[in-house]
Amino acid sequence: MCSAASLRACLAAAPGAAQVETDFACPQQLAGLATDAAQRLQAIGQGWQRLQQRLGEHEGQLLRAKAVREAAPLLLGSQHLIHAVCASWNNEARYAMAMLQVHALDVGGGRPGASRIQRYRELMRELAPSDAGEDPQAIGDDSGVCDGAFNLAAMLVLLGHFPESLLPQILGANLYLRHCGVLPMFAFIADGQPERERLLDLRRDPSGSAQDLAALAEAAVREYLAQAGPAAQQGMRQGYCWARWQVESANSALLAVLERWLDPREAARDLISRRRPDACQYHEKTRLNKVPMRSLLEEDDSLRFLEHLAASAYVRAGNPQGSPLLTTLVSPRGKMFRIFSRDDLAILERWIAGLPYAEQPQPQPARALWKDDGLLAGLLGEEVEAPILATRLAPRQAYPRLLHVELTPAEQNHARHYVNRWLVKAARGVAKGRCPLPEHWAPGVLREWLQQQHALSNQALEQPQDLPSREEVIADIVALAPLTMIDGAWLAGFAHPSLAASAFGSRLFETLYDELGNGLEAQNHPVIYRQLLRAVHGELPATAAPGYAAAECFADEDFELPVFWLAIGRYPQSYCPEILGLNLAMELSGVGGGYRRTHKALVAYGYPTLFVDLHNAIDNISTGHSAWAAASLDAYLSAFSTRDRDELWARIRTGYVALNPPREDTMLDKFKETMRSLL
């Protein structure tokens, strides 16, 4: 673990920060920063252009295959920086909405497989022949990538975990990344192809809209400063300058690595040093050029090993097709079949084709040109705070804390226990027959079921019902405020880049994005609900302000379900089936009869109806959130075996009932249950 304070100190150490005197609140000065960022990168880009001009077609392919893997951590890191900036504690703030909009564009805005990361995956598949590194999310496992490629990337991922304490730094770093346009390393990978450039330009929407992500990042910076005051300027400057320093260093270092990579011996020595630890386990009797192979392997001198291999009977200099190392030894009946990957074989083939080499190789390997800077290794060993046992907090006390992303270990424990206790109650409700979902899931079943539920809800409206009194309407609106002001909170975890564009998670992210207004204040559900509250009750403090949860107009029980939403929303993987069930229950509740009934009551007393009208539309069962909830469930369950589906479906049903679980049993209920079990 590492603390926000030590990360802050790390960022503050970036060179050049003292020279930047930009006023981040001034649009003209922000534009000047963008020009400056581009000019500085242009100077580094010239080195890349010179390299490009030297390359033949085959060499170009080869270096692009290397570059696309080496650049993957940076791209990945950039996509993990801002995913948690917009959360329940700040969901009405304009800067948070702007950042969510940038993130939504990055992740494909609800289209499965359309995120920048997933599109990059396709690019890796296209450019790199390798099996390794095809999934950018797993790029950390690719031992071929230089350690230095993670200096910037790992820090970006870590910063993303501190969206509150390091918010100014995140806004500053994000602004720089969006200001850059296509980085020299990405321009080299794009090779002039417009589609690739669009994907790799962090200023542009990878899906092709004309949205300017730098303009959104600038708007977020200005909006935040308007709210937080000039003290936040320093943090922003640190984030901006640190990102600039790191990005420029990364582009220079990768260029140096690629220039060296033109020598076929570089890839070959890198391969030997990576495979050496495993190879040491074998080759007891093999000799290379009269020297025992095992002792050569144990030496950790890959150049010396290559010299002996080149002089051995396994290799014919300049003739890969005539070399047993690449023919008989690795054939399906050879001793080394499948010992080398396709990528390894290509590396050895190129090395043999180049033999003998006229010049001495460089003493240091290419990967030494881009090393781990060691900054994070020091921080990760840091003792931050020892976990404490769960504290018992009443929901009303827990609410203002759980609105936040950064919690103490005790608060995290509390959240987890709260979810578990709540789900036990919900499971009891399922056992008592309170789940209206079908007992078994099969493809198509949910769609039919949704239509039935919709019809039932509308039929109920046709029954004559008394209009609730004005006092009842006001009481309901106020009591629902702690819940509605965190609309979408149960889906917060689906903003994570690994879920937001997945087959089952993309619609859940889009639902969350809709709840929070798609970047527009006028469409933000908490903002709209606050307008309704203002009309019926008057002004209330900001949701995360200390006075909100303490407001006298709320009862203690008004916080019970909101705390469950906030708590379960933190665990999109552990409680995925329960969240999917809860989401369906939530999106369906009110659609048809419920919202229309409330609409009538609001009209009768002259209150704004926008909140219920928009929900009756947006949550609709054909193409709205309810339909997406069912489609997400279908996509999720389809990926599992029949037996697993039954288990997951049971958890989904519990999640469904969790929207409205039975209250604690009375003594009479417990007595009846005991009697039933005895009979």
Q: Applying CB under 5 A, which residues contact Fe ion?
A: 487, 515, 525, 587, 619, 625
Nearest approach in angstroms of CB 436 to Fe ion is 19
Strands 291-292 and 287-288: antiparallel
Who contacts 609 (Cβ-Cβ below 8 Å, separation ≥6)?
599, 602, 603
Nearest approach in angstroms of CB 525 to Fe ion is 4
Q: Which is nearer to Fe ion, 106 or 587 (CB)?
A: 587
Q: Contact 169/158 with Cβ under 8 angstroms?
A: no
Cα gap 396→418, rounded to integer Å: 13
Who contacts 296 (Cβ-Cβ below 8 Å, separation ≥6)?
288, 304, 305, 308
Nearest approach in angstroms of CB 620 to Fe ion is 10
Q: Is 246 helix (H, G, I), strand (E, B) or coil?
A: helix
Cα gap 30→172, rounded to integer Å: 11
Cα gap 176→37, rounded to integer Å: 8
Nearest approach in angstroms of CB 555 to Fe ion is 22
Q: Which is nearer to Fe ion, 365 or 526 (CB)?
A: 526
Q: Which is nearer to Fe ion, 20 or 610 (CB)?
A: 610
Cα gap 427→435, rounded to integer Å: 9
Cα gap 232→224, rounded to integer Å: 8
Report in angstroms the alpha-carbon separations of 150 from 134, 214, 253, 261, 408.
17, 24, 12, 19, 27
Other CB atoms within 10 A of residue 379 CB: 18
Nearest approach in angstroms of CB 625 to Fe ion is 4
Nearest approach in angstroms of CB 524 to Fe ion is 9
Cα gap 511→630, rounded to integer Å: 12
Nearest approach in angstroms of CB 487 to Fe ion is 4
In this structure, the chain runs to a length of: 679
Q: Which is nearer to Fe ion, 483 or 567 (CB)?
A: 483
Q: Contact 546/553 with Cβ under 8 angstroms?
A: no
Q: Which is nearer to Fe ion, 248 or 487 (CB)?
A: 487
Q: Which is nearer to Fe ion, 270 or 510 (CB)?
A: 510
Nearest approach in angstroms of CB 510 to Fe ion is 10
Nearest approach in angstroms of CB 22 to Fe ion is 38
Q: Contact 605/516 with Cβ under 8 angstroms?
A: no
Q: Which is nearer to Fe ion, 298 or 476 (CB)?
A: 476
Q: Which is nearer to Fe ion, 11 or 585 (CB)?
A: 585
Q: HEC string of 351-408?
A: HHHHCCCCCCCCCCCHHHHCCCCCHHHHHHCCCCCCCCCCCCCCHHHHHHHHCCCCCC
Q: Which is nearer to Fe ion, 458 or 523 (CB)?
A: 523
Nearest approach in angstroms of CB 112 to Fe ion is 19
Retrieve residue 198's tokens. 């669009």
Nearest approach in angstroms of CB 87 to Fe ion is 16
Q: Is the peptide bond between 332 and the residue preceding it cis, with omega within 30 degrees of 0?
A: no
Nearest approach in angstroms of CB 633 to Fe ion is 15
Q: Which is nearer to Fe ion, 83 or 615 (CB)?
A: 615
Cα gap 133→377, rounded to integer Å: 23
Q: Which is nearer to Fe ion, 559 or 611 (CB)?
A: 611
Other CB atoms within 10 A of residue 608 CB: 15
Retrieve residue 52's tokens. 């490009």
Q: Which is nearer to Fe ion, 261 or 529 (CB)?
A: 529
Q: HEC string of 38-100?
A: HHHHHHHHHHHHHHHHHCCHHHHHHHHHHHHHHCHHHHHHHHCCCCCCCCCCCCCCHHHHHHH
